[in-house]
Structure 1
């Protein structure tokens, strides 16, 4: 498809985001790691043969449409969706988050005011992240059937733990795939964990009506009512943006639909998020947090505060962020933040990612930088969107939640971020530079096409247009080495529990990385960050933005104003009631 699509606020249907990866060896084939300083590409026969073999197996699996920026050609909007490929077995480390978690030391935040040192969680020999003792404890409670809420400051592994919990629950309920409902407060957060918005799951729309009216509405929606009946575990991520009244309505609807007086009709709840980050979206007045809901204490049996910080290793920086989280900066921390107005020093060509509160500022910043690369080759990749809902407003809303854009224009020299895991050390959040665009014909990509078509595994030529060039990107690895790899298209889908595809998008798993929105940066780990706090307007935004950085050396803060460091007093008081793992095990 070509052209931009606007997304209205309507939400309907339950979808579970599942990534459908081709059988391409590019997705798993090891690529050459190059230790700095970076060396120019060689023309050795060995490397050329490796690239040729990798690309040759990939072409028929690619559904990305390439539009040359110098032409007006566009793929047909009526082209059917490419057939689903056989899914390859993903490595065990696929669901692990950004690489900084894997090797950085840890600091224990046993209290909110002091941060004594602790031991880092080390990756196993297989490359998988090993959970800390407190994370294992929370997971054990989940598998025992407890309804829990867990939180923690930025960088404490909330997302790592949640992905591990989801995997474990799917194994527990392998014979009942509908039993685990994966949801989040926003579409972006839902996509990040392979779920849908909690509004879509519940079938209640924007939920302005009383609980009785909403329950009646759900009863008339056979699919929504069925979801409530079949669900045994409900996961809600980024709960900080869930309004307290909405939480109560959800619980009451569940009780009425399931004819069970227990909160949420007896469904086990796994709730997570950081109330010190982005608050509920309100049209006026003071937000009511989920923990203020009347049924919160009845629905949540146990509450935990994770304390081990994985993202940062500098105790001073962790203390500064801890003070910022609670909105009470010391004079020493204020002075240190103001001193960060200097530019970040780097010699490898990878600039700090600038974080903005508004998406239009992000688009403008990335476009300006892209146009500033003069004399470089440019390619525009247009995503192939499919599914029965793709042309509907509700489908466009689902598509807008994908991290991958509808149109992606790249140039040689462009700074990009990988948004899908590729290998153990080449993961979502990796930053790199586009080196060149590889011509498939030059490397004999057509050689395998006839055999594939004969076998019936490739779509007919008229159903899709294969890009004639793929970007080769050089990424910086966590250990400082460089890795060059060719990036090809991958498909993301939103499906119903029965496997019916609602919408799908095939696009290169890349985004421009000179700038990013604060909202989309939640959960990301960035080695170099630039933030102008003069543009921040909401409580929690400054903390979210600055806590993406891994070190003071990689952080630039412009317009620092201590008045921009805001925390809700209700959240501060409530947080004092939370227990840590150490406190729980001593009771």
Structure 2
């Protein structure tokens, strides 16, 4: 199929914006792939994320690295193994993944197939969707004639039994789902037709001797421009780049400073990330060789700058890109050995050495690998010793003009590498180029699937079942009214939602039969509007109000958390459905629906607390309603808890309330027989409990006019519950100092109460300490893990307390347990 430049771009735009089809967008260097990516980010109504395999590529694409977003472990990802190095995602990242419509992966030529399968595994898990990549649409951008993925021999030894190739198209998940391929052919970076023709011949491995001779005329022996001319050298090997950098360094008049790396354990010299003896001067052109892991993200791997000043423990670098001055400190690299356990099938990673140095390299010259995605006005190319596929092409295509290109040495024909598996893949790509009919069918399938999703209540039923399971497993800890409310919800959801939507979905094939897009099918649109009105009313006036009345009283914190989590998920699903049907008031539009659904996911806040019911006047069984003695006791308990700023269960556990309702004690002796009552508690509240029993002889609910019971002295909580009260105070917004004053306890005691909650993950360390202090302590703990508390305190200084250190230690412990 022959199409113009604009038609190809339009086709690519339409597939990205209006279908859920996976797309491989390819093209020669300089054909506008990155420009297309930036346009998609601006125009797309879909929720998208952009990732790339390296820090440089990610910054150029305006995204993040693959390993950062998906928290994948470094090293081979062998199918069927447990990747223990992966971290648990926080709520914010889970929300992002759950609402993701489009994942853009730039520089796909450098992505390994097992990494793509790692992405697939994460998306399926957190989206609870078994479809490849969790149903997320992929836009894969790259040129397979450029740089390949980096795979070490020992890594390929582990992957080879599972993969035919290390390239991305060897991914098992990608082979389970079809994708279209669109190739951009118009070159924007270069305008010289002669240079373009030469680059195309090198890319396609058809370069002639005459063309190579013409290119080699750009060889200028002993070419040595001044720094003011703006040349950068691209070399295939680190050693050649280092030699150039050393010569440039020597020419600077500033004082030479040498920084020696601290190397521990097994860390071979050929794997050092930078020089063990790093020589720098003020005025040196440098490049960062590690991403900044701090929250500020001040630098990334590949960022260029010039040294402005040097101190003993800090180097100040001014960025060439944005002019910012960055304070740079030494960082650590860890050498890890990967092995495959034949029994457990797990990838084992064992730290065997560390390397500590400033994350900088001299950068008057850089490697071709670091240059991918960059454009230079003037460059000195040194690729006569090219050893990998795509190196020569990538290096030459970084230059805008042939006149701005100088060769360090002539390029021999044997340095232009080729790979047969890529030739086969390129032939396959040509067969997967779509046309307008393919686009129409992809739009049709996408809109039909979205309509089926809109009218499905399957997830709501699953979440309601989860609520029932929690109630059934913990009946004794929960309000007796939970089951009646759940029964009502189940009947309502089944009879008025699932059954009705099921009948509607059964009619959809008859509307789909005419091959019109649902968005353009007027008869179907009218049915959708009417159905949407019905389901809006059902959700807003029946399902959500009933859910808001669900009782959540519970003494057992873990059970209550389970219940609240299940209820929140169900309420979020109802809320999302409501917003989705509201988006169809004027008819169905695929992008409008996606926006409404995703915004609902992000905007949701539980509304349950706004709809708590007053105790009703109910006569029946006191154990199954909020009326009668049960209601009176609950009201009294909650009033007391509010008066003393504590939790309800600290005053009177719910199990005890249920026993009081069942036994109805009339004397202190009978009270003493009830579990939860001792002599101390009887002295504190026994008189009030017996009075309430006497006032409610037949289940009559306590009147709203019942005066609040006053207690002359505060309740003396059991010692083992003291930390729980401190936690409740802290979560209510009080500071540690305020809690200590109110409870007449030392600040250190209050801190000791909170430390275990950091360890269990119930309390985020960020709520207790400033980010800068956390980063400082964490960095020291990771560097010196075996030091004692006093040694750590002495090293960090008086600004850090013992409690500060323990807060961070427990936070790290919680992360490892997760």
Query: So what's the TM-score if we normalise by structure 2?
Result: 0.38
Q: Is 1:235 the counterpart of 2:109 in the alignment?
A: no
Q: Is 1:155 the counterpart of 2:6 in the alignment?
A: no
Question: 160, 184, 191: which one pairs with 2:59?
Answer: 191
Q: Hey, what's the Cα distance between the residues in 1 that align with 2:243 and 2:145?
A: 29
Question: 118, 121, 139: which one pairs with 1:270?
Answer: 139
2:77–2:118 contact (8 Å) kept in structure 1? no
Q: Hey, what's the Cα distance between the residues in 2 that align with 1:290 and 1:415?
A: 35
Post-superposition shift, 1:372? 1.3
The residue number in structure 1 matching 2:426 is 575
1:161-219 CA-to-partner distances (Å, cap 9, x unmatched) read: 212222334xx36xxxxx53321112332233343322332233136455554489869
1:219–1:225 contact (8 Å) kept in structure 2? no
1:486-541 CA-to-partner distances (Å, cap 9, x unmatched) read: 9453799xxxxxxxxxxxxxxxxx99763222122111222222222233221111
- Residue 136 to residue 565, structure 1, CA distance change in 2 (3 Å): same
By relative contact order (CA 8 Å, sep 6+), the higher-ranking structure is 1
RMSD: 4.9
Q: Secondary structure at the match of 2:229?
A: coil
- Residue 580 to residue 229, structure 1, CA distance change in 2 (3 Å): same
Q: Hey, what's the Cα distance between the residues in 1 that align with 2:431 and 2:326?
A: 40
Q: Secondary structure at the match of 2:384?
A: helix
Post-superposition shift, 1:307? 0.8
The residue number in structure 2 matching 1:318 is 196
1:269–1:299 contact (8 Å) kept in structure 2? no
Post-superposition shift, 1:312? 1.3
Question: 325, 328, 335: which one pairs with 1:489?
Answer: 325
Q: Hey, what's the Cα distance between the residues in 1 that align with 2:7 and 2:286?
A: 35
Q: Is 1:294 the counterpart of 2:294 in the alignment?
A: no
Q: Is 1:205 the counterpart of 2:41 in the alignment?
A: no
Q: Is 1:354 the counterpart of 2:225 in the alignment?
A: no
1:60-101 CA-to-partner distances (Å, cap 9, x unmatched) read: xxxxxxxxxxxxxxxxxxxxxxxxxxxxxxxxxxxxxxxxxx
Q: Hey, what's the Cα distance between the residues in 2 that align with 1:215 and 1:242?
A: 18
The residue number in structure 2 matching 1:391 is none
- Residue 260 to residue 348, structure 1, CA distance change in 2 (3 Å): closer
The residue number in structure 1 matching 2:377 is 527
Post-superposition shift, 1:221? 4.8
Q: Secondary structure at the match of 1:234?
A: strand
Q: Hey, what's the Cα distance between the residues in 1 that align with 2:101 and 2:417?
A: 38
The residue number in structure 2 matching 1:92 is none
Q: Secondary structure at the match of 1:337?
A: helix
Post-superposition shift, 1:159? 1.5
Q: Hey, what's the Cα distance between the residues in 2 that align with 1:197 and 1:370?
A: 32
The residue number in structure 1 matching 2:43 is 168
Q: Hey, what's the Cα distance between the residues in 2 that align with 1:143 and 1:472?
A: 36
What aligned pairs does 1:255-266 form with structure 2 within 5 A after superposition?
Answer: 255-266=124-135
Q: Secondary structure at the match of 1:309?
A: coil
Q: Secondary structure at the match of 1:576?
A: helix
Q: Is 1:371 the counterpart of 2:222 in the alignment?
A: no
1:235–1:271 contact (8 Å) kept in structure 2? yes
1:214–1:253 contact (8 Å) kept in structure 2? no
- Residue 138 to residue 512, structure 1, CA distance change in 2 (3 Å): farther
Post-superposition shift, 1:320? 1.5
- Residue 235 to residue 372, structure 1, CA distance change in 2 (3 Å): same
Gaps of 5+ in 2: 157-163, 260-271, 288-301, 329-359, 439-818
Q: Hey, what's the Cα distance between the residues in 2 that align with 1:430 and 1:253?
A: 29
Q: Hey, what's the Cα distance between the residues in 2 that align with 1:377 and 1:219?
A: 45
- Residue 370 to residue 360, structure 1, CA distance change in 2 (3 Å): same
2:385–2:415 contact (8 Å) kept in structure 1? no
- Residue 282 to residue 471, structure 1, CA distance change in 2 (3 Å): closer
1:271-305 CA-to-partner distances (Å, cap 9, x unmatched) read: 11111111122223684211233332544532111
Post-superposition shift, 1:407? 11
Greater percentage in helix? 2
- Residue 488 to residue 200, structure 1, CA distance change in 2 (3 Å): closer
1:117-173 CA-to-partner distances (Å, cap 9, x unmatched) read: x99xxxxxxxxxxxx66435423432224332201111111122212222334xx36
- Residue 526 to residue 231, structure 1, CA distance change in 2 (3 Å): same
- Residue 197 to residue 437, structure 1, CA distance change in 2 (3 Å): closer
Post-superposition shift, 1:255? 2.5
- Residue 488 to residue 231, structure 1, CA distance change in 2 (3 Å): closer
Post-superposition shift, 1:242? 1.5
Gaps of 5+ in 1: 1-109, 112-117, 120-131, 174-178, 383-399, 418-428, 439-464, 476-485, 493-509
The residue number in structure 2 matching 1:516 is 366
What aligned pairs does 1:21-420 form with structure 2 within 5 A after superposition?
Answer: 134-146=8-20, 147-169=22-44, 172=45, 179-206=47-74, 208-214=76-82, 221=89, 228-284=97-153, 287-299=165-177, 301-342=179-220, 349-350=228-229, 352-359=231-238, 361-373=240-252, 409-411=281-283
Q: Hey, what's the Cα distance between the residues in 2 that align with 1:415 and 1:345?
A: 16
- Residue 152 to residue 472, structure 1, CA distance change in 2 (3 Å): closer
Q: Count the aligned residue pairs.
A: 364
Q: Hey, what's the Cα distance between the residues in 2 that align with 1:193 and 1:211?
A: 29
2:60–2:373 contact (8 Å) kept in structure 1? no
Q: Hey, what's the Cα distance between the residues in 2 that align with 1:329 and 1:541?
A: 15
Post-superposition shift, 1:355? 0.6
